[in-house]
Amino acid sequence: MSDPRLSRLLERLPQLLLKSEAGDLEYYGRDWTRRWTPAPLAIALPSTTQEVQEVVRWAVTEGVAIVPSGGRTGLSGGAVAANGELVISFERMNRVLGFDSVDRILTVQAGLALEALQRAAIGHELIYPVDFAARGSCSIGGNIATNAGGIRVIRYGNTREWIAGLKVVTGTGELLDLNRGLIKNSSGYDLRHLLVGAEGTLGLVVEASVRLTDPPPASNVMVFAVSAMDDLMQVFAACRRKLKLSAFEFFTDRALEHVVAHGAQDPFEQVSPFYLIAEFDVADEAQQADALEVFEQCFGNGWVNDGVISQSSAQAASLWRLRESITESLAARKPYKNDISVRISAIPAFMQAMRTIFEREYPHYDVVWFGHIGDGNLHINVLKDDATTDAMFIVECERVTRLLAQTLAEFGGSISAEHGIGLVKKGYLLGTRSAAEIAVMRGIKQVLDPHGILNPGKVFDGAGVGSRE
């Protein structure tokens, strides 16, 4: 290691695995945003909590910023290291540490992939219900950092609901053991919940105890083609009245065109402006009959143009592909991503307002809407045309995002529903959080990370090392 700071780190921790080859810096220094050029100092791959603590103490002494790193599937730049930071990758801290069948709590290290955690739960005949398309690559530590949501929030809530305890290393190297799996704990501030969604700016999650639950009964999937947003909301209300929903998602004709070009099977002959996919329990004949009744009601009331109910799990998987492969089908075009939320009841009016703005501001771009409409969470991916450079594209998108943020403020919505603020959305935080709230957030950061070494410049700019204020 030619950098003297790294030599001193290895003197403190001779067994620490450090990487600093150009390929490693590139690989570990970025996330799925692909907007920033990775430029970390090096990558530390600790294998124990004590090593993480010692690295943090070293970082304090040297004034080096730390970027925590899981699967780097984030879409907001939260795991980007473009400023000489030390990346702490949790990929070697990826073990299941234990399971308690009475508490139904699984304890895992932060680097465990979501899919591996889900598999471990199934091994105990239970499930960990948070789920989304990046399951194979993302890590539970990253999920906690963004309070990840996904496709079954409508039934199970976000990551936060499932976190029974956390072990966290603060910005001074202190280890906090938060909540310890308790269900009831009215003993002051619940610091565990401060850490969930903090995007690595308050502490490094090294261990998590997650609650597991019973597997759901058999489910079925239906997809509807719809002409108008108001009709889609009617279908939502009808489904919620009669069915036990585990997912209710939507996408537009633009999204369908991209996933079909990417290999998905279009179940419909005619194009419709909107599509929705609902997943619901079919535990018995009564629930199956309810599903058919809703299906017929949607046609009878003229809310839908076409529809299909899955007849097998293979068909359900193929229908899910229409929704779950949207991100992948757009990835090569490096879309500008928005991840907003409003109250469900506000969706039609909000969408109308935004579509008017986008049609005026983005006539030359392909704007792809999709998302977790049953949670009020919309993803808007903007794709540039060939004539626009990457740099111009970002400038234009940021201008329009200011209009989006204003509209969100009018609707009382949020600029990030589940991807986090990171680097991408920090300029718009003020539309979602008041100045007073942000001041409190800064105060909390100051207490847990007094030297400003933990993921500086993410969520908001601050006085920490590596910040560019």
- DSSP letter for each residue of 266-287: P--SS--SEEEEEEEE--SHHH
With b meaning 16 or more CB within 10 Å and e meaning fewer, what string describes 191-225?
Answer: bbebbbbbbbbbbbbbbbbbbbeeebeebbbbbbb
Neighbours of 157 (CB within 10 A): 15
Question: CA torsion sign, 337 to 458 to 17 to 50?
Answer: negative
Q: Give the nearest distance from C-beta 75 to ligand 2HG in angstroms.
A: 6
> How open is the CA angle 422-63-146, to the nearest 5 degrees?
20
Task: Pick between residue 126 and residue 247 the one whose CB is nearest to ligand 2HG.
Answer: 247
CA-based R_g, the chain, Å: 23
Task: Pick between residue 85 and residue 418 the one whose CB is nearest to ligand 2HG.
Answer: 418
Q: Give the nearest distance from C-beta 360 to ligand 2HG in angstroms.
A: 22
Task: Pick between residue 258 and residue 379 the one whose CB is nearest to ligand 2HG.
Answer: 379
Distances (CA, A) of 354 to 87, 104, 156: 38, 44, 29
Q: Give the nearest distance from C-beta 347 to ligand 2HG in angstroms.
A: 16
Q: Give the nearest distance from C-beta 327 to ligand 2HG in angstroms.
A: 3
- C-beta of residue 200 within 8 angstroms of C-beta of residue 170: no
Task: Pick between residue 248 and residue 295 the one whose CB is nearest to ligand 2HG.
Answer: 248
- C-beta of residue 63 within 8 angstroms of C-beta of residue 465: yes
- DSSP letter for each residue of 226-257: ES-HHHHHHHHHHHHHHS-EEEEEEEEHHHHH
Task: Pick between residue 33 and residue 179 the one whose CB is nearest to ligand 2HG.
Answer: 33
Residues lying near ligand 2HG in the complex (CB under 6 A) are found at 75, 132-133, 326-327, 337, 339, 371, 379, 381
Residue with the two structure tokens 């932060």: 110
Task: Pick between residue 20 and residue 252 the one whose CB is nearest to ligand 2HG.
Answer: 252
Task: Pick between residue 210 and residue 247 the one whose CB is nearest to ligand 2HG.
Answer: 247
Distances (CA, A) of 345 to 188, 233, 280, 285, 374: 34, 9, 21, 32, 10
Task: Pick between residue 331 and residue 447 the one whose CB is nearest to ligand 2HG.
Answer: 331
Q: Which residue's CB atom is positioned nearest to ligand 2HG?
A: 327
β partners of residue 222: 278, 309
C-alpha span between 282 and 60 (Å, rounded)? 55
Task: Pick between residue 337 and residue 445 the one whose CB is nearest to ligand 2HG.
Answer: 337
Distances (CA, A) of 436 to 341, 404, 408, 413, 429: 21, 22, 18, 17, 12
Task: Pick between residue 116 and residue 133 the one whose CB is nearest to ligand 2HG.
Answer: 133
Q: Give the nearest distance from C-beta 35 to ligand 2HG in angstroms.
A: 14
Q: Give the nearest distance from C-beta 251 to ligand 2HG in angstroms.
A: 10
Residue with the two structure tokens 């970027």: 67
C-alpha span between 45 and 49 (Å, rounded)? 11
Residue type, 64: V
Q: Give the nearest distance from C-beta 381 to ligand 2HG in angstroms.
A: 5
Q: Give the nearest distance from C-beta 329 to ligand 2HG in angstroms.
A: 10
Q: Give the nearest distance from C-beta 367 to ligand 2HG in angstroms.
A: 12
- DSSP letter for each residue of 322-366: HHHTHHHHHGGG--EEEEEE--GGGHHHHHHHHHHHHHHH-TTSE
